[in-house]
Chain A
Amino acid sequence: MALRRVMRRSSITVLWGLLLSLLSLGCSHTNGKEAHLTLAVNAGVEGDALRAAAQDYQATFNVEITIAEFPYANLFEKELIDLTNRTGAYDLIMLDDPWFPRFAERGLLTELTPLYERRGLEGPDDDFVAASLALCRHPYGTGTLYALPYVGNSQLFFYRKDLFEKYRLSPPETWDDVLTAARTIAEREQIYGYVMRAQQGNAVVADFLPLFWAFGAEMFDAHGHPTVNSPEGIAALRMMLALGAYAPPGYVSFNADEVAAHLLQGTAAMSINWPAWIPALSDPAKSRVIGKIAITAMPGQKEPGRAEIGNWLIAIPRGARDPETAFDFLLWATSAEQMKKSALRGNPPTRVSLFRDAELVARYPSYPVQLHSLQTSRPRPRTPLWNEIENAFGIYLTKANTGELSPEEAMNRANAAIAEILQRQQ
């Protein structure tokens, strides 16, 4: 009896002990090096470059670096949940620039200027492309610095120069030129004149905004009210539908992969695309159009053409355990020397000097065009509600492309939906 009781008591102690040790296991930390950093990166060529840089850094400095890699679709939620709850899991985070306002507005990022000042520096050097650095400030362009630009993407216009030469078409300067070329090529060749991403959400909005801006439309007026249903906006959508007539069937469900497939297989003549696809164009394993595609800046219409910017930024979460070490790494990774290595790993830089670097230009002949495109690029509207606005806008743009709604009706409904989103948050 007594023995049973003792055994029972000891088994309870063991159980509790086990539970406590399990709990404490989750909190324990061991590291061999002096400092430790954890980076949240995008699974893709951008994250790969930062991972490689981190390995170089570990080899040189007494810092241990852990990489937490997430697919694009999950990175935003992981980071926002972690930073909102201040769990301190990450010391540095990669951000796609449209996410930045949400993080900055909520005060989730560490201000960088004091860290510069502690190192006797005023701030980032002039070599950074102004359009890229502007994304890192909140409010946009003028406000406090919370991040540094790492990958300098902006949209580019891809076209089949062999076909343009064959039909004596000059490189497209306006969207009217694009439409004429699409019609000419589609009528005489067995291929589609134009291909675009028209899947609702991010894809269709990204491929539509350059048209929208070129036609002189704006998403918001000076008071922040939505104006997507302006006559200019509707005209831009009509142009998109006109181009859609020369696009492959089912283009309303296309995202980047499908667009690239058509371009690389030589089944479409023109498209808007991101620099990440440039290396594939000259890869014999993927491309049937080696040497046939030219890259140019975004066509204009009423206004000069402007591409959408899409940079990857690196920021330090507010309340990071060791912001000084994190900032040292950030400065190092965004230095000209390291960014050149990143460029050689396939990421467009955010520094002017590198776009003009002889070795890089020899390897990436489109760099001068990319620099021009980046310098004249425009960001998506800087609002913390962008994801939701983009979603609503995208749904109606796709519905216009499927023929469910007329361009006027689509833009009117999009405008009403955006107004509702803004109103709800007030």
Chain B
Amino acid sequence: MRRSTTHDRGSPERALASCSPDSPPPSLHLSGIRRERWVPLLLLAPALIVLLALTVYPLLYAVRVSFRAADDEAWTLVNYARLFTDRFFAEALWHTFVYAGTAVTVEFFLGLGLAWLLDRHIRGRSLFRALLLIPMMIPPVVVGVIWRLLYNPNFGAINGTLQQWGIDTSALVWTASPRWALLSVILVDIWQWTPFMFLILLAGLQAIPQEPYEAALIDGSSAWHTFRHVTLPLLKPAILIALLLRTMDLLRIFDQIFILTQGGPGFATEVISLYIYKTAFRFFDFGYAVTMSFALLLITNLISLAFIRLIRAEEGLA
């Protein structure tokens, strides 16, 4: 790519050198070169304009909107000030952290365990692998609907099965209990996205060469020590990438919760993106919604930055 552009643009010297006797006089040719310099820009212009119109302009406009109260044109900081006094915002943010933290931790350990199990030569390995990927392939909205039916305390399959086993389910209301609702929606996320962790970690495991293992074996290292001192360090880049992607995804979780609980009961499962959605499209307060989105963006960026630093450090070591 870089080579072709230097060639296309050409230095003046080279352009002159390539002049044949019947080529136009140098002055004209120079303007031609200048024109040629514009050609790539002109070719890129449509894409650039579309990009500017679709990303940069809305972003700048969003910044403007966040400094505006309701229908007032004046610049103001009220939306940013409200972030610090809004109980709903604080609570929704807390739910988001609990949700993301719990889900990513459980998904990681489950995913790692599964990847470790299925990295070996066991019978039916490819069947297990294929089956494990199914939840990830289902659209989140469909997953939400499926689990809403499963969780239904009166007609749902979970309580129905428990009742058949003779368990009293009258207190088991899953997503309708303020204490268990958040855990119930986290469980759905774990069910759906553990395969993603598994997939990345499995790829990581398979990329590890055999030699270190053989060396460890010769040195008489135990299975745990091999895992701790050989597998884990070599798997670290894959682990960090998997954690980064899942965390970013979890911080903006919306669809499953929207279908499962709408943020309820009460406010028990309201996460930040759901609150932003309601503020924007139900209350029509775009200024505050955009402000909260920027807050979420900042948080996501800080967390991602930490992960990326770790990844870089890892690469540096390697």
State the A residues within 8 Å of B (CB).
Answer: 1, 5, 8, 12, 15-16, 19, 76-77, 80, 102, 198-201, 248-253, 258, 261-262, 267, 385, 387-388, 391, 395-396, 398-399, 401-404, 424-425
Q: Mark B257-274, 1 if CB is under 8 A from A, else 0.
A: 000011111111000000
Neighbour of A404 across the interface among B174, B266, B281, CB < 8 A: B266
Q: Once bound together, how far apart are the Cα atoms of A385 and B178, in whole Å?
A: 27
Contacts of A80 in B (CB 8 A): 284
**How far is B152's CA from A425's CA once the two chains are assembled, in angstroms?**
39
Bound-state Cα–Cα, A388 to B281, Å: 11
Given contacts A15-B46, A249-B172, 20 further A-B contacts (CB under 8 A): A77-B281, A77-B284, A198-B265, A200-B262, A200-B266, A201-B264, A249-B176, A252-B176, A253-B175, A253-B264, A385-B283, A387-B283, A391-B278, A391-B282, A398-B264, A399-B265, A399-B266, A402-B265, A424-B82, A425-B70
Q: Mark B276-291, 1 if CB is under 8 A from A, else 0.
A: 0010011111000000
Complex contact A200–B174 (CB within 8 A): no
Cross-chain contact A398 with B284 (CB below 8 angstroms): no
- B212 contacts the other chain (Cβ, under 8 Å)? no
Type the 1/0 row for B73-112, where 1 means its CB is closer than 8 Å to any CB of A: 0000000001000000000000000000000000000000
- Which chain B residues lie closer than 8 Å to A5 at the CB level? 32
Contacts of B285 in A (CB 8 A): 388
Q: Which residues of A contact B176 (CB under 8 A)?
A: 249-253, 402
Residues 33-59 of chain B: 1 if any A CB is under 8 Å from the residue's CB, otherwise 0?
000000100110010000000000000
Q: A249-B171, A252-B176 are in contact. Are A12 and B43 (CB under 8 A)?
A: yes
Q: Number of residue pairs across A and B with beta carbons under 8 Å? A: 95
B264 proximity list for chain A (CB < 8 A) = 199-201, 252-253, 398
Q: What is the distance, in angstroms, from B158's C-beta to the closest C-beta of chain A?
A: 12
A16 touches B173 (CB 8 A): no
Which A residue sits closest to B154, measured CB to CB?
Answer: A248
Q: A15-B43, A15-B46, A253-B176 are in contact. Are A199 and B265 (CB under 8 A)?
A: yes
Closest-by-CB residue of B relative to A416 is B87
Given known contacts A252-B176, A398-B265, A399-B266, is B282 in contact with A76 (CB within 8 Å)? yes
Using CB atoms, name the residue of chain B closest to A198. B265
Main secondary structure of the interface of A (DSSP, over half): helix
* Residues on the B chain within 8 Å of A403, using CB: 178
Could you list 14 examples of A-B contacts with CB < 8 Å?
A77-B282, A198-B265, A201-B264, A249-B154, A249-B173, A252-B173, A253-B261, A387-B282, A391-B282, A402-B176, A402-B178, A404-B178, A424-B82, A425-B70
Q: Which residues of B contact A1 (CB under 8 A)?
A: 23
**A399 and B267 in contact, given A249-B171, A250-B173 (Cβ under 8 angstroms):** yes
Most chain A beta-carbon neighbours within 10 Å: one of B172, B177, B264, B267:
B264
A199 touching B153, Cβ below 8 Å:
no
Q: Is the CB of B266 within 8 A of A398?
A: yes
The DSSP consensus for interface residues of chain B is loop
Give Cα distance in the complex from A347 to B4, angstroms.
68
| Nearest A residue (CB) for B173 | A250
CA distance A258 to B154 in the complex (A): 9
Categorize the interface residue count of chain B.
35 or more
Write the chain A residue with the least CB distance to B171: A249
Q: How far is the CB of A398 from chain B (nearest CB, A)?
A: 4
With A and B bound together, what is the CA distance between A327 and B278 in angstroms?
A: 33
Please name all residues of chain A whose beta carbon is closer than 8 Å to the beta carbon of B171 when the two chains form the complex.
249
User: Is B155 an interface position by the 8 A CB rule?
Assistant: yes
Q: How far is the CA of A251 from the CA of B175 in the complex (A)?
A: 11
* A267 cross-chain contacts in B, Cβ below 8 A: 154
Q: Within 8 Å CB of B177, what residues of A?
A: 250, 402
| Closest CB in chain A relative to B173 CB, distance in Å | 4
Smallest CB–CB gap between A411 and chain B, Å?
A: 14
Inter-chain contacts of A250 with B (CB < 8 A):
152-154, 173-177
Contact B265 A253 (CB under 8 A): yes
Complexed CA–CA distance, A250 and B175 (Å): 8
Task: Known A200-B265, A200-B267, A267-B154; judge A102-B178 contact (CB<8 A).
Answer: no
Closest to A4 in B: B36
* Residues of chain A contacted by B70 (CB below 8 angstroms): 425
Partner of B153, one of A76, A248, A388, A391: A248
A108 shortest CB reach to chain B, Å: 12
Q: Output the least CB separation between B14 and chain A (Å).
A: 14
| A249: chain B residues within 8 A (beta carbon) | 153-154, 170-173, 176
Q: B11-42 toward A: CB 8 Å interface, digit per residue (1/0)? A: 00000000000010000000010000001001
Contacts of A199 in B (CB 8 A): 262, 264-265
Expressed in whole angstroms, the Cα–Cα distance for A395 and B282 within the complex equals 15
Contact A19 B46 (CB under 8 A): yes
- Which residues of B are found within 8 Å of A404, using beta-carbon distances? 178, 266
Chain A neighbourhood of B267, CB < 8 A: 200, 395, 399
CB-CB under 8 A from A396, the residues of chain B are 266
**A76 vs B284: C-alpha distance when bound (angstroms):** 10
| Residues B266 and A395 in contact, CB atoms below 8 Å apart | yes
**A425–B288 Cα gap in the complex (Å)?**
12
- Which 5 pairs of residues, A with B, have the shortest CB-CB distance? A250-B176, A250-B173, A250-B153, A253-B176, A399-B266
